[in-house]
Amino acid sequence: MSYRATPPRQGLYDPRNEHDACGVGFVADIKGRKSHRIIDQGLSLLDRLTHRGAVGADPKAGDGAGILLQIPDGFFRAVLPFELPKVGDYAVGMLFLPQNDAAREEMESIVERYIEGEGQRILGWRVVPVNNAGLGESVRPTEPAIRQVFIGRGEACPDQDAFERKLFVIRKQIAFEVYKSKIPDHSFYAVSFSSRVLTYKGMLLAGQVGEYYPDLLDERVVSALALVHQRFSTNTFPTWDLAHPFRMIAHNGEINTLRGNINWMVARRGSMASEVLGEDLGKIWPLTYEGQSDSASFDNALELLVMGGYSLVHAMMMMIPEAWSGNPLMDSKRRAFYEYHAALMEPWDGPAAVAFTDGRQIGATLDRNGLRPARYLITDDDLVVMASEMGVLDIPEERIIKKWRLQPGKMFLIDMEQGRIIDDAELKEQLATAKPYQAWLNETQIYLDHLPTVVGAMSPDPDTLRDSQQAFGYTQEDLKFLLTPMVLTGQEGTGSMGADNPPSVLSRRSKHLSTYFKQNFAQVTNPPIDPIREEIVMSLVSLIGPRPNLLGLNDGGPDMRLEVKQPVLTNTDLERIRDIEDSTQGAFRTKTLTICYPVEQGAAGMEAALEALCHQAEKAVREDYNILILSDRKMDADHVAIPALLATSAVHHYLIRKGLRTESGLVVETGAALEVHHFAVLAGYGAEAVNPYIAFDTVQSLLSQLPEDLSPDEAQRRYIKAIGKGLKKVMSKMGISTYQSYCGAQIFDAVGLATPFVDKYFTGTASMVEGAGLLHIAEETLRWHKNAYGDNLIYLKHLDVGGDYAYRLRGEDHAWTPHTIAKIQHAARGNDWNSYQEFARAINEQDERLLTFRGLFEFNWADQPVPLEEVEPAKEIVKRFATGAMSFGSISWEAHTTLAIAMNRI
């Protein structure tokens, strides 16, 4: 069996959702003095983090634990039968290999081939001694063969940094070769592959690491640092390779924007160039693989940045920036640093405490919200201990000279070559002043607000507005319950929880494509972000246009960037972007692509129209248009619009596959965006900004019906404010703070869409329930178009009633109708059995009409009843009833009281 025991995608499980929440810590000597004491203290610290891990049904099966240390040169010279070059001129690769002899030999030959092919020397191999007596029964079948390969630095590598880069390139090539190989047991994982650090880890309990690896108990194994980690895999399967530490980090938290981060890293491949990696840059792809956890993917991206020339701290500040856009107290140079790098890389957002090291420096940083704990202390003999909590080592109080905690967005670093601690302020001042970031911004950054106004907004045409509204699925409820509260209050209307209408795939009515997508929420993020009180850490700033070379370190680059304060564009804003070429002396070129096609082509014509749209987008980018506007303004009686969400995602993913996505920005001009969820889904699938022109026209048409006298500009401003507040709310429940991180992050599950349709147009999205494909979506779109431009008298003067939020004749179906509510009230108040029977009959008939997924199921009756003597007595069954997991915050006092009474009675 492979050590990679993650099962394939099945049911509701998807290996793409690998996350973990864990215990992390390190021990380090500030002066860089190596000793075995550091290893012992690291293992003790790890043992004290046991409570932060998880144990399966097998009490000896953990989620994973490990330790990273500096290469113990003296130890290896003592135990190896071959000579080693001087320190820094050799590397150690710690490898997980197959237990099968033939497969392992094949893996070893691949490793040797790439090492020698890149001009480095094989010094020898070592079988890593292990003691697996303490492994759980469920762990042993997945235990890998563990080997160390020793690599000598070749002449082509002038120094140790160049050697590290070459090792990185070798390891990535080996991994890809193994990944694509047809070897039956192709298990391979490079735990570490470095001339500076070495990692021992596995699917172990915290207290088993030293026991399993006898090397760690040898007094000759010395290090000036020990980075440890105890994994708690949330919603995931523990595996040997997903244990921490990784090559540069140990991480406690979640990267909630992972899918988008990975997509953007793939998209950057075509536009990336590196002075230090040179032609080797083309050998490292793919950067990440399916099935990796969020932490593993983060580590891969961090490695790329460091190997591409960034310092370790610089790279960490790019990936986990502190809150800067809403902080008026931040130094201008530091603000310029963050603003400049915002165009290079979107934040890897989510709650995180990350410890990082390259073997020379070790440090830690916290996410901008401070949603994970990290505390540290310094002793009088220059020892630093950092961990998820205090008390992990028994250190007398009189020896402690400082105790403190990491604060949101802050970091600290121990530079063992300099022999000192560098605090957050000094670190960031050094980096912020290292390059003229403000000057580079002045040369490359353009602000939408500073562009000239070309044309004013047009007044809505009442003769065509209703047709347009109907063609995009507007209803009377949308105007009453959604738009009107936004205009009056500047925020979404308040509604009660619960929905008794059918999922979109089961509805008999045409539904907005976005309703097939359900927003995810971070189930491990605790506490959630408060988008109102923590507004300073949130940002709706969006950058439109090409993304600069990620590895271009030494200048601002040739690419200009357009910054907008928030992603909802007014009609005037959009016209500014359309005419941006003249106002920016050709720095930006905009191409408008219509997403409409002739209605006579019917539903079958949508696929060809999508294909043509993607080809037009590719052609435009290759012709140096760096802003694409996807527009459905040409929708009329003769032309039907492809759903804007479908068009946006199709173009976004098509350009990613072509390696062109970072060459151009995507702006969507659509009448289909009305409520917050519409904007959130468009953002999630790549829209950097959205112009909801029909929503603006509708807002203006409502002014005469409002109780408050508002100007069109004020009404529009309030609507935009409401959408912005709603977007922050949506992002915050996923633990995401910035629109840039949310854009392209695909934080949704598809419910009721066919997998082939999702895989092609919404690549990477989980589809839990099968259902509608492209043809069905096209038919729903055409049905709306027919309502608008057909001859149905119902829609001639009035919008559809809707019926999603309240029961309406000719509206959406509901489980709770006036009839069912009346019957249950009569049954309860009058103790009327007949009324209850009528209520039950009505509810059961609704199941037959498929208002819920539950209605799709039928009981699978057994042919023979279970003998009564085999049925467990009720008094035994009730012993397993429990309510302890229900927190007081999740249910009311009344509910708690009722549950307590019930539990006492049984």
Look at residues 766, 771, 755 and name the one whose alpha carbon lies nearest to residue 850.
Answer: 771
H/E stretch holding 260: helix 258-268
Q: Which residues lie closer than 8 Å to 144 by C-beta, 6 or more apart?
A: 3, 96, 97, 98, 99, 187, 189, 240
Whole-angstrom distance, CA of residue 690 vs CA of residue 635? 17
Whole-angstrom distance, CA of residue 664 vs CA of residue 590? 9
Whole-angstrom distance, CA of residue 284 vs CA of residue 306? 14
Look at residues 587, 595, 571, 657 and name the one whose alpha carbon lies nearest to residue 627.
Answer: 587
Q: Which residues lie closer than 8 Å to 835 by C-beta, 6 or more apart?
A: 823, 824, 826, 827
Torsion of CA 467, 473, 475, 481, to 10 degrees: -130
User: Quick one: tokens of 70?
Assistant: 């500096």
Rg (CA), the chain: 30
231, 19 in Cβ contact below 8 A? Answer: no
819, 813 in Cβ contact below 8 A? Answer: no
Strands 689-691 and 665-669: parallel
140, 132 in Cβ contact below 8 A? Answer: yes
Partners of 152 in the beta sheet? Answer: 90, 121
Whole-angstrom distance, CA of residue 249 vs CA of residue 238? 18
DSSP H helical ranges for 633-711: 644-657, 676-684, 693-702
Q: Which residues lie closer than 8 Å to 19 by C-beta, 6 or more apart?
A: 233, 234, 235, 236, 254, 255, 293, 294, 524
User: Quick one: tokens of 421?
Assistant: 């601690």
CA atoms within 13 A on the CB side of 42: 32
204, 216 in Cβ contact below 8 A? Answer: no
Q: HEC profile for 293-350?
A: CHHHHHHHHHHHHHHCCCCHHHHHHHHCCCCCCCCCCCCHHHHHHHHHHHCCCCCCCC
CA atoms within 13 A on the CB side of 375: 10
Whole-angstrom distance, CA of residue 733 vs CA of residue 596? 35
Active site residue 22: yes
Put the strands of the sheet holding 590-594 in their side by side order.
Answer: 590-594, 627-631, 665-669, 689-691
Q: Which residues lie closer than 8 Å to 721 by C-beta, 6 or more apart?
A: 490, 491
- Around Cβ 792, how many Cβ atoms within 10 Å? 11
Whole-angstrom distance, CA of residue 748 vs CA of residue 678? 12
Look at residues 602, 20, 566 and name the one whose alpha carbon lies nearest to residue 295.
Answer: 20
- Around Cβ 625, how many Cβ atoms within 10 Å? 21
What are the contacts of 804-807 at 24+ separation with CB within 8 A? 804/475, 804/477, 804/501, 805/477, 805/481, 805/495, 806/477
CA distances from 213 to 129, 145, 208, 892 (A): 7, 13, 8, 50
User: Residues 22, 157, 596, 743: which is the catalytic one?
Assistant: 22
Whose tokens are 């909630």? That residue is 256
Look at residues 511, 515, 597, 595 and name the one whose alpha carbon lies nearest to residue 780.
Answer: 511
Whole-angstrom distance, CA of residue 339 vs CA of residue 449? 17
Whole-angstrom distance, CA of residue 714 vs CA of residue 717? 5
Q: Which residues are catalytic?
A: 22
